[in-house]
Amino acid sequence: MQYISTRGSAPALDFEGVTLAGLANDGGLYIPAEWPRFSEGEIAAMAGLPYAELAARIMTPFIGDSLSQDKLRELCAAAYGRFSHAAVTPLKQFDEQQWLLELFHGPTLAFKDVALQMLGLLFETFLSRSNDHLTIVGATSGDTGSAAIDAVAGRERIDIFMLHPSGRVSDVQRRQMTTVLAPNVHNIAIDGSFDDAQAMVKRMFGDSEMNGRFRITAVNSINWARLMAQVVYYFAAALQLGAPQRKVAFSVPTGNFGDVFAGYVAAKMGLPIERLIVATNVNDILHRALSDGDYSAGSVTPTAAPSMDIQVSSNFERLLFDCGGRDGTALGEQMRAFEQSKAMQLTNSQREGASGLFTSTRAGADDMASAMRWASDHCGEIIDPHTAIGLYAARSTELAKNIPVVTLATAHPAKFSDAVERATGMRPALPSRVGDLFAREERFDELPGDYDAVADYVAQRATESR
């Protein structure tokens, strides 16, 4: 399998190459040169497989000969062996049509673990071949940070620098990052939003001095391997609900467009998906883009679903590339203009391509709180604010009654206990697997939202640790 850049001028790479590269060197994102496709019979044969085996089957065509089948199965068993639920991503029924896919049974209580446990092992495997050293530079609105840190803390050939927006993540989210005191973990609170942090990370990839000296890679969903691993749970859920004979819809709480793009990939691979519902909070650039073509970023409004407080959604570029005729040169121009003006209008082919599968809904604070109360009052389930946005969108989208709608439960409610308590009157307790989080020492540095300050910090620490 070869991967190409959405901006058309970076070299094509194999799976090992894209995993270690993160972002393409023309500023684009890597995407498979063509979509692998399973037949209906091949999909039917996956029903009932244990999660780790299903993961190996789905990942095989993307990995090509970068890993042997034995090694791939070993890594999947290790990655998904750390989940606290035997099903890894269990499915629950809410009513005749509504279902919940719980993606938060990993070590850091959010869906990010599903991909990052695997990515940490992939980095380790590929680095052991070259004896090289990697510098991970990532941005987080709260969940990617802890999941990535958990996946690589203490690994000898890796340093991780994680930027979070100061004061804009929950206490649990911050502590899950800042109480990991392994010497290769460097937490930075920046003065700014997640978008500011993400822009600095992308700029560092294009900074030939930094990238040349430190071999920078990504743990954000700009890294293709993240999305590949997220495709698996769409198959897992749909197979339980009758796929490939029955179509299923998914409602996905969306920020950086990675999770829902993994659903799009599942559809491209042959999974019969009726609709992908993109659920946003008031930071609704994706809702505006999908409903009337207006992709223009305003300033970020802090909400009770902080992980979705994002305006510039990295993975939307992958969709625009695939739906808009895979013209990297044209998309490169369109994206560079967007980076300057922070506004663009989707082309007709991009809009038509997206409308076949995607629909979108924006949820305000009251919509989110009422969805939390509905889940609690009618189904006895406490859900987190991000999941609530997905559930609100799922329940407000008109679909035929025989189509099951699966809301992705992206985080454990205890990560956002204040917001959950405000909406439902109930305060969810932290599961014992995160331990004594509030008794642990924290360590992080604060930096201004300034690229040079962050680059100097990374350069100094990365040099010291070699």
Ligand X SMILES: N[C@@H](CCOP(=O)(O)O)C(=O)O
Active site residues: 112
Question: Considering CB under 6 A, how many residues would be counted as binding ligand X?
Answer: 13
Query: How many angstroms separate the CA atoms of 101 and 169, rounded?
Result: 24
Distance CA 234, CA 152 (A): 26
> Using CB distances below 5 to 8 A depending on partner kind, what does residue 140 bind out of ligand X, ligand PLP, none?
ligand X
Q: Which does 29 bind (CB under 5 to 8 A by kind): ligand X, ligand PLP, none?
A: none
**27, 255, 328, 413: residue in contact with ligand X (rule CB under 6 A):** 255
The region of 77-85, 137-145, 275-283, 394-402 touching ligand X under the rule CB under 6 A is 137-145
What residues numbered 260-279 form the site for ligand X, per CB under 6 A?
none
> Distance between CA atoms of 206 and 93, rounded to whole angstroms?
46
CA separation for the pair 309, 412 (Å, rounded): 18
* CA-based radius of gyration for the chain: 20
Q: Which span (26-34, 142-150, 296-304, 318-326) binds ligand X, by CB under 6 A?
A: 142-150
Residue 257 interacting entry, from ligand X, ligand PLP, none, C-beta within 5 to 8 Å by type: ligand PLP
The DSSP element (H or E) to which 451 belongs, if any, is helix 451-464
The number of residues in the chain equals 466
- Decide which of ligand PLP, ligand X, none touches 410; Cβ closer than 5 to 8 Å per partner kind: ligand PLP
Choose between 27 and 413: whose C-beta lies nearer to ligand PLP: 413
Q: Which of 5, 89, 140, 280 binds ligand X (CB under 6 A)?
A: 140
Q: Are 251 and 277 in contact (CB under 8 A)?
A: yes
CB nearer ligand X, residue 38 or residue 234? 234
Binding ligand X (rule: CB under 6 A), the pick from 170, 184, 256, 283 is: 256
Q: Sketch the per residue contact string, 205 through 244, with ligand X: x for CB under 6 A, - otherwise.
A: ---------------xx-----------------------
Residues 310-369 that bind ligand X (CB under 6 A): 314
Q: Toward ligand PLP, which CB reaches closer, 165 or 258?
A: 258
Which of the choices ligand X, ligand PLP, none does residue 220 contact, using the CB cut-off of 5 to 8 A by kind? ligand X
Give the nearer residue to ligand PLP in terms of CB position, either 133 or 268: 268
Compute the least distance from the CB of residue 142 to ligand X, in Å. Answer: 5
Q: How far apart are the first and last CA of the chain?
A: 33
Residue 142 vs 332, nearer CB to ligand PLP: 142
| Distances in whole angstroms, Cα of residue 368 to Cα of each of 142, 216, 391, 411, 451 | 19, 38, 8, 14, 35
Q: What are phi and psi of 241, to 5 degrees?
A: -100, 10
Q: How far is the CB of 385 from ligand X (least distance, A)?
A: 12
Q: Are 383 and 411 in contact (CB under 8 A)?
A: no
Q: Determine the interface stretch with ligand X among 251-259, 295-303, 349-357, 415-423 (rule: CB under 6 A).
A: 251-259
| Helix%, strand%, coil% for the chain, nearest 5 | 50, 15, 35
DSSP symbols for 46-112? TTT--HHHHHHHHHHHHHGGGS-HHHHHHHHHHHHTT-SSTTSS-EEE-SSSEEEEE---STTSBTH
Chain residues binding ligand PLP by CB under 6 A are: 110, 142-143, 221, 253-260, 307-308, 386, 410-411
Site string for ligand X, 279-308 (x = CB under 6 A): ----------------------------x-
User: b/e map of 247-281 (b: 16 or more CB within 10 Å)?
Assistant: bbbbbbbbbbbbbbbbbbbbbbbbbbbbbbbbbbb
Q: How far is the CB of 337 from ligand PLP (least distance, A)?
A: 23
User: Where is 461: in which H helix or E strand?
Assistant: helix 451-464
Nearer to ligand PLP, 308 or 420 (CB): 308
Here the tokens at position 407 are: 């809301």
- Exposure b/e, 10-27, CB count within 10 A at least 16 = b: beebebbebbbbbbbeeb
Q: Which stretch binds ligand X (CB under 6 A): 34-42, 135-143, 206-214, 343-351?
A: 135-143
| Of residues 127 and 237, the one with the C-beta less far from ligand PLP | 237
Q: Which residues bind ligand X (CB under 6 A)?
A: 140-145, 220-221, 255-256, 258, 307, 314
